[in-house]
Structure 1
Amino acid sequence: MDEGSSKITMELSEDKKSFAGIPEAAFVEDVDAFMALPDNDGQVDKVLKKLDENHSKYKFMEYNLASKRRRLKSQIPDLERALEMIKKLQAEKSSSKDLETQFLLSEQVFAKATVPPTDKVCLWLGANVMLEYTLDDAQELMAKNIEAAKTKLSHVEHDLDFIRDQFTTTEVNMARVYNWDVKKRQAAKAT
């Protein structure tokens, strides 16, 4: 083996197999070669500290991804309800009678409303922004937003699976380095 392929680095590798660019943890196969690297210099405490820092970084990334997943899982049903309402308004726009409905004011609080036939709707876009759209444009926008949210959700779930693998790899590396140190100390005591 040439030195480039046998070199094992402790740092997170640059190969990215996640949508969020989460770095992949390198598996330490040959602990002796790994500990002999100039960065590690056989200092177990230093190596374990680096591994623990990487483990903490993965924990932080996991927390952020889990928050993002929760947000998307609550956002998708809201978008789908908005799309359903737009479709209902489209079906009723040619009708001459008013549409009676209830809308959500806040959690568990609804209000009755009478909506005259219309071809326009106002959509809340967030960040204190509301825009008026035609029903066709609103339906197209909602469909795109739903598709984008579902795609993001699948990416986040993939990244969460990926990060769990990185936890495992980092934890195994920590155990291997620790066990290497224990064996080295036992061998030193025996001689």
Structure 2
Amino acid sequence: MESNPRGIPKSPFVDDVEAYLKTDTVQATLNKFTEAVSKYKYMENSKLQQRLSLEGKIPDIEKTLSMVGFLIEKRGSDEPVKTLFEVNDTLFAHATLPPTETVNLWLGANVMLEYTLDEARELLASKLEIAKNNLKDTVEDLEFLRDQITTMEVNTARVYNWDIKQRRLATATAVAAMPAPAAK
């Protein structure tokens, strides 16, 4: 089965409904399509959450990388740096930073490590590139999933409409085959 680069399966397009239904009943096919749409929508919701997470993470990494770059610029100076830093979403504090060669970075899961300024810049640049690539892949996956959901919804409509047409034809044929009422 075909899939995108990250393994999300491509949905088939039902071009010839009658030929497609040779192996399965209408109801089983509609159930299968409904299940596929549900799976694609679940994946889409997961990818949307991933995109939101990355969109929040990237500016934080960029801000931290910018600060490390600023500290690298001030590295040779004996003059302390005065700054305002964020303690919480709405709480900021003034700080005077002596010249430094190291910074502490949060890695997640309550882990903080000390890095030299150059190591920190390299690590943050790497994390930023990875996050941007992940965001690009996630956006591509979302577009792919939307296409698959649309294809499966079209398939469902085609099979459903074909079934209604077949039922009407069967009814019309049955009515035409009925004997005419006897004349009195």
TM-score of the superposed pair, with normalisation by structure 2: 0.92
Q: Which runs of 5+ in 2 are unaligned?
A: 174-184
1:161 corresponds in structure 2 to 143
1:136-181 CA distances to partner (integer Å, 9 max, x unpaired)? 0100111111111000000000000000100110001000100110
5 Å-filtered alignment, 1:95-134, equals 95-134=77-116
Tell me the SS of whatever aligns to 2:76: coil
Give, in whole Å, the separation in 2 of the partners of 1:94 and 1:28. 68
**Ranges of 4+ aligned residues in structure 1 off by more than 4 Å:** none
Pair 1:174 & 2:156 matched: yes
Q: CA RMSD in A?
A: 0.8
5 Å-filtered alignment, 1:9-24, equals 14-19=1-6, 21-24=7-10
Partner residue of 1:59 out of 24, 38, 41:
41
Give the partner amino acid of 2:3: K
Partner residue of 2:19 out of 13, 33, 39:
33
1:71 corresponds in structure 2 to 53
Give, in whole Å, the separation in 2 of the partners of 1:50 and 1:116. 65
**Contact 1:90–1:135 (CA<8 Å) still a contact in 2?**
yes
Q: Which runs of 5+ in 1 are unaligned?
A: 1-13
Q: CA deviation at 1:18?
A: 3.8
Aligned length: 173
Q: How many percent of aligned residue pairs carry the same amino acid?
A: 48
Give the partner amino acid of 1:140: E
2:180 corresponds in structure 1 to none
Q: Which has the higher contact order (CA 8 A, sep 6+)?
A: 2
**Contact 1:66–1:160 (CA<8 Å) still a contact in 2?**
yes
Give, in whole Å, the separation in 2 of the partners of 1:52 and 1:76. 36
Tell me the SS of whatever aligns to 2:112: strand
Give, in whole Å, the separation in 2 of the partners of 1:178 and 1:103. 60
Tell me the SS of whatever aligns to 1:15: coil
TM-score of the superposed pair, with normalisation by structure 1: 0.88
Q: CA deviation at 1:28?
A: 0.6
Larger of the two Rg values belongs to structure: 2
1:72-112 CA distances to partner (integer Å, 9 max, x unpaired)? 01100000000010011111121111111111111121111
